[in-house]
Chain A
């Protein structure tokens, strides 16, 4: 073999013409293409981030000006009122509809997730239901609104917060099922075995061992679902409808923040447009807070 000590890379590259040919020059087409594409993806990333800041800047600069306690205590102004007003009724309406939606979707979703992750794991049935959950989450929110209209509005005889809450529940359900199933799957098998070994029933195992352990990530999913529901508009326009006054009950048409933004953004009146921007700011703040909080919960894990 070679009697010399093995040559360093520098020696080889300066001596061997073959290696020299393989070395790329900064001006070679391959290197130039490489740099060009790298530049291109930096531009792509900038393009993707710009709309986020543009939207945030718009709602903060336009909506921030109107931010005051009046927003939450006063009723929406009529078209001919040039100044003042708020969306107290719509804010409460959003809390009501999202609350009704959560009250339906959270227990249903967590129980379904318990079945998928604890009692039917790995079975075909669980695979199918998981698949259908994903399909359900792809159903357009406006179609869910139509469904809620035909099941709740038509059968109870009128637009109501309950109909809106029902539509929101259908949208929240797949998010909660999916995140809760994943959360339960993260609980180590050993803790289940320990519980069963101590003589716990399946209910006791789930309720006192598995569920408490999986609670933080389940809460994350719940928060994401609530955040998404509070920004939803399409399923509410013809279920909860809108109303310029305080709601008399959950079986009455109810104003919501998102529908208010939609209605007022498309009017030609400055006062109402400003309120739409302020409403957007509140919606964005609610959604961003939920997203960031859920992120923090996951990080602490």
Chain B
């Protein structure tokens, strides 16, 4: 039974209808549109918040960043204490979390413990990042503050001559915010630093061991320097996260409108100011809060873009 080859090819030769072709192209464009939405969203955030902040920008100018008045009664606003508080609490968090986070990253990238135990530990550290901020805040209020207050009183009595510890802790304050932020950014530093450490070529390690280096000489002089930019990228991402973190900080920092050098004093951050006042604000106060939000947005944007560039350079190596 001879079947003509033409007959067999018949169904395959069928051209797509213009409708089907257009539909396919439309699908590609549709997905492209949603991808473009991401870029648009970033621009929209800057523009919308910027436009709503413009009355305050026009009225207070750059003085907003350097003066310490926040008075809804006289309608005069400036946010130096909050910007100061954001930077101090974030850097205090880094000061605590970088050494410990790096230590944990080394601990989890070397074979100190068998892989069977290592994996659950990595998972536990990841869970630390999953706990909601507001839960850390609750724990901070009822567990951390009572412990730290007593500890802080001891430090104030013995080291009170240092400006950093010059006031007596009354409970909430900058130091609690810094410590709780440190706990919250630790998993970020650990995760990214560990990725960077694991990515260091095994030959470097073998060469160091071959030259007679001890395990820690290898880690500190070979592996950490080789992974350095990845570690820096992780630290910067953590800094960005710490600056924007809101709930836990709002619940433990004391929300006082002042910038004191003493870590035991109460303070506030840009995000805690927004969390406390936004829902009840109106008029120029909303615009001023938007202005503060723009400042925070720009700060985190700079830190995040730098972090992305650093991490990207590492990935290319």
Say which one of B19-27, B62-70, B151-159 lies at the interface with A. B19-27
Q: Closest residue to A291 on the B side, CB-wise?
A: B130
Say which one of B1-9, B74-82, B99-107, B162-170 lies at the interface with A. B99-107
Q: Within A87-144, which residues are at the interface with B (CB < 8 Å)?
A: 108-109, 111-112, 114-116, 118-120, 126, 128-129, 131-136, 138-144
Given known pairs A33-B216, A41-B112, A48-B125, the reply for A280 and B104 (CB within 8 Å) is no
Say which one of A10-18, A187-195, A229-237 lies at the interface with B. A229-237
Q: Closest residue to B312 on the A side, CB-wise?
A: A131
Is A201's CB within 8 Å of the partner chain B? yes
Is B128 within 8 A of A52, CB to CB? Answer: yes
Is B237's CB within 8 Å of the partner chain A? yes
Q: Within B122-180, which residues are at the interface with A (CB < 8 Å)?
A: 123-128, 130-139, 141-143
A276 to B303, CA, bound (A): 34
A103 to B266, CA, bound (A): 41
Is A139 within 8 A of B45, CB to CB? Answer: yes
A42 to B100, CA, bound (A): 10
Is A41 within 8 A of B32, CB to CB? Answer: no
Is A247's CB within 8 Å of the partner chain B? no
Is B28's CB within 8 Å of the partner chain A? yes
Is A9's CB within 8 Å of the partner chain B? no
Q: Closest residue to B108 on the A side, CB-wise?
A: A45
Mostly, the A contact residues are helix
A264 → chain B closest CB, angstroms = 9
B45's partner among A143, A231, A241, A266 (CB-CB below 8 A) is A143
Is B289's CB within 8 Å of the partner chain A? yes
Is A44 within 8 A of B38, CB to CB? Answer: no
Is A280 within 8 A of B138, CB to CB? Answer: yes
> Which of A40, A43, A108, A139 is most buried by chain B, counting CB atoms within 10 A of its CB?
A139
Is B301 within 8 A of A146, CB to CB? Answer: no
A241 to B278, CA, bound (A): 11
Say which one of A65-73, A78-86, A214-222, A281-289 lies at the interface with B. A281-289
Residues in B whose Cβ lies below 8 Å from that of A129: 35-36, 38-39
Residues in A whose Cβ lies below 8 Å from that of B296: 140, 142-143
A287 to B142, CA, bound (A): 21
Is B278 within 8 A of A238, CB to CB? Answer: yes
Given known pairs A31-B214, A147-B49, the reply for A177 and B38 (CB within 8 Å) is yes
Residues in A whose Cβ lies below 8 Å from that of B31: 111-112, 114-115, 118-119
Is A22's CB within 8 Å of the partner chain B? yes
Is B226's CB within 8 Å of the partner chain A? no
A48 to B191, CA, bound (A): 12
Say which one of B200-208, B241-249, B257-265 lies at the interface with A. B241-249
A266 to B21, CA, bound (A): 60
> Which of A112, A118, A131, A288 is most buried by chain B, counting CB atoms within 10 A of its CB?
A112
Given known pairs A41-B106, A48-B100, A265-B251, the reply for A139 and B130 (CB within 8 Å) is no
Is A150's CB within 8 Å of the partner chain B? yes
Q: Closest residue to A202 on the B side, CB-wise?
A: B24
Is B134 within 8 A of A34, CB to CB? Answer: no
Is A165's CB within 8 Å of the partner chain B? no
A157 → chain B closest CB, angstroms = 14
Given known pairs A134-B308, A203-B24, A283-B134, the reply for A140 and B127 (CB within 8 Å) is no
A40 to B30, CA, bound (A): 54
Residues in A whose Cβ lies below 8 Å from that of B28: 115, 119, 202
B132's partner among A37, A149, A150, A233 (CB-CB below 8 A) is A233
Is B195's CB within 8 Å of the partner chain A? no
Is A280 within 8 A of B135, CB to CB? Answer: yes
B293's partner among A118, A143, A291 (CB-CB below 8 A) is A143
Is A132 within 8 A of B104, CB to CB? Answer: no
A146 to B300, CA, bound (A): 15
B27's partner among A33, A109, A202 (CB-CB below 8 A) is A202
Is A47 within 8 A of B100, CB to CB? Answer: yes
A206 to B30, CA, bound (A): 13
Residues in A whose Cβ lies below 8 Å from that of B212: 22
B24 → chain A closest CB, angstroms = 4
Is A269's CB within 8 Å of the partner chain B? no
Q: Mark B215-241, 1 if CB is under 8 A from A, else 0.
A: 111011000000000000000010011
Given known pairs A30-B214, A146-B289, A237-B278, the reply for A133 and B38 (CB within 8 Å) is yes
Is A262 within 8 A of B134, CB to CB? Answer: yes
Is B256's CB within 8 Å of the partner chain A? no
Is A295's CB within 8 Å of the partner chain B? yes
17 pairs, A vs B, C-beta closer than 8 Å: A33-B214, A48-B128, A52-B128, A129-B35, A135-B301, A138-B240, A140-B245, A140-B296, A170-B41, A173-B38, A201-B23, A203-B24, A203-B27, A234-B247, A234-B271, A258-B134, A261-B134
Closest 6 CB pairs of A and B: A140-B244, A231-B132, A44-B103, A138-B304, A115-B31, A234-B246
Residues of A within 8 A of B (CB): 22, 24, 30-31, 33-34, 37-38, 40-45, 47-49, 51-52, 54-55, 58-59, 62, 108-109, 111-112, 114-116, 118-120, 126, 128-129, 131-136, 138-147, 149-151, 154, 159, 170, 173-174, 177, 199, 201-203, 206, 227-228, 230-234, 237-238, 241, 258, 261-262, 265-266, 273, 276-277, 280, 283-284, 287-288, 291, 295
Instruction: Apart from A132-B38, A150-B48, list 17 A-B contacts with CB within 8 A.
Output: A24-B214, A48-B125, A59-B138, A109-B34, A111-B35, A112-B35, A114-B31, A138-B241, A138-B303, A139-B304, A142-B271, A146-B274, A170-B41, A174-B38, A280-B138, A283-B132, A295-B123
